[in-house]
Amino acid sequence: MIRFHLGENSLMALDTLRSHKVRSFLTVLGVVIGVTAVIAVGSILVGLDRDVQESLEQFGSNTLFIFKFQPGIHFGRLSAEERRRKPLTLEDGLAIKEFCPAVKNVAVQVFPRVGQGPRPIPEARYQGRVSDVNYVGTLPSYEQVEEARIAKGRFYSDAEDLHRAEVVVIGYDLDRALFPGEDALGKTILISGHSYQVVGVLEKRKGNILRGEGSDVQALVPYRTYRKHNPNDDEHFIAALAYPGRKDAAEDEIRGLLRQRRRVLMDQPDTFGISSAERIANQFREITANVALLTIAISSIGLLVGGVGVMNIMLMSVTERTREIGVRKALGARRRDIIFQFLTEAMTLTGSGGVIGVMMGAAISFLINRLLPNLPSAVPLWAVVAGVLVAMSVGLFFGIYPAVQASKLDPVDALRYE
């Protein structure tokens, strides 16, 4: 019986929606906007979280990152003292490998000094094709420490680094930009006026949030080759691979060694930063959690507006259908039947708005994936279900008062109503 009433009331509610399409849509517009915002932002946050997980899987859990300030997400909030810090050095990296027993291997990257104002973005060229490039020098140990996977060719050797060979390992996207349909191996490309022979191509990387947007347009050249061509670039980034289960010990050893090498007094804070992919991911998740809370708060305003609109339209519907209510009561309908009818109608109204909001949010997510491939987006099933349920809950909450008012009508007075 309950199932029959539910189906009958739902059909009546849908018939009412069809009869007043524009009015119904305007009524639930706030619900549509609120659900759309939650689905769209939620899909981006879920996509970013997956991106972070993929980064963690590729970096591994035993890699530490050392820089002159704390590696992570800063949004330009560096202090004046941090900006004045002297760079780390190659010798710092080699000392970490030699004097820290818990460290298995170390990779050192060199690039232009941070904080010296805007610089032109390096370009890679080959036979008239041009691409922006993330141009850095690094030790051959980069392949092991940062788990660089070679798709074609090989990584350069210690001998090539020592003899300053003009060789380069390029990223997946850089390979596609400069060598569409061609084999890049053995070809010579021009980067910032210097010629390099391509000896390897990296696999497509996942997890650009932690690796950086330029991870697939990298041009990795031997450390000493880079310094030969760019002697003024002295900013160093160190990645240290700890032995399994000894990351905390490795961090303590690195901190003690660098404080000694950088002559930091015991009562002074570190003049460098040590972090890991896991910590950066946690920092990122804290930010996304705050964004999610803000989105929910803003969307709640839209749901509240939509709920008030639903209450208003349902009260109007009670007035318009006073005679219908009187007839139903005269034929034996109980108060709870009237309440159930109007609540079903209100929930159907807002539920329809929720479905429209989910569809619009999914469409926005699809467009983001097509137009902004570096911004991952994925609509999770729980968000779809939650969006529709929340919308229906708004209808349930704001439909209670009109439904109760309808159930209180006296059948005799209702039948006389004109």
- Distance CA(337)–CA(403), nearest Å, equals 10
**pLDDT given at position 211:** 53
**pLDDT given at position 113:** 84
**pLDDT given at position 3:** 43
Strands 103-111, 188-191: pairing is unpaired
Enclosing H/E stretch for 111: strand 103-111
**pLDDT given at position 208:** 57
Q: Render pLDDT for 262-282 as a digit per residue (tens, 0 to 9).
A: 998 888 888 888 988 788 777
**pLDDT given at position 57:** 64
**Tokens representing 357?**
């909001």
Which CA distances in Å does 247 have to 21, 145, 241?
A: 62, 13, 8
DSSP state of 121: P
**pLDDT given at position 2:** 42
DSSP state of 302: H
**pLDDT given at position 4:** 41
Bridge-partner residues for 222, per DSSP? Answer: 138
**Contact indicator for 368, 44 with CB cutoff of 8 Å:** yes
Q: Which of 383, 315, 382 is nearest to 345 (CA)?
A: 315
Q: Render pLDDT for 163-216 as a digit per residue (tens, 0 to 9).
A: 999 999 999 889 998 998 889 899 999 998 899 999 999 988 765 555 555 568
Q: What is the DSSP string of 174-198?
A: HHHHH-TTS--TT-EEEETTEEEEE
Q: Which of 294, 362, 345, 376 is nearest to 35 (CA)?
A: 362
**pLDDT given at position 167:** 95
- Distance CA(412)–CA(352), nearest Å, equals 34
Residues in the chain with pLDDT values less than 70: 1-21, 23, 55-60, 72-76, 115-118, 206-215, 320-322, 324-326, 328-329, 331, 333, 373-374, 409-418
pTM of the model: 0.71
Torsions phi, psi of 79, nearest 5? -80, 165
**pLDDT given at position 19:** 67
Q: What is the DSSP string of 311-355?
A: HHHHHHHHHHTHHHHHHHHHTT--HHHHHHHHHHHHHHHHHHHHH
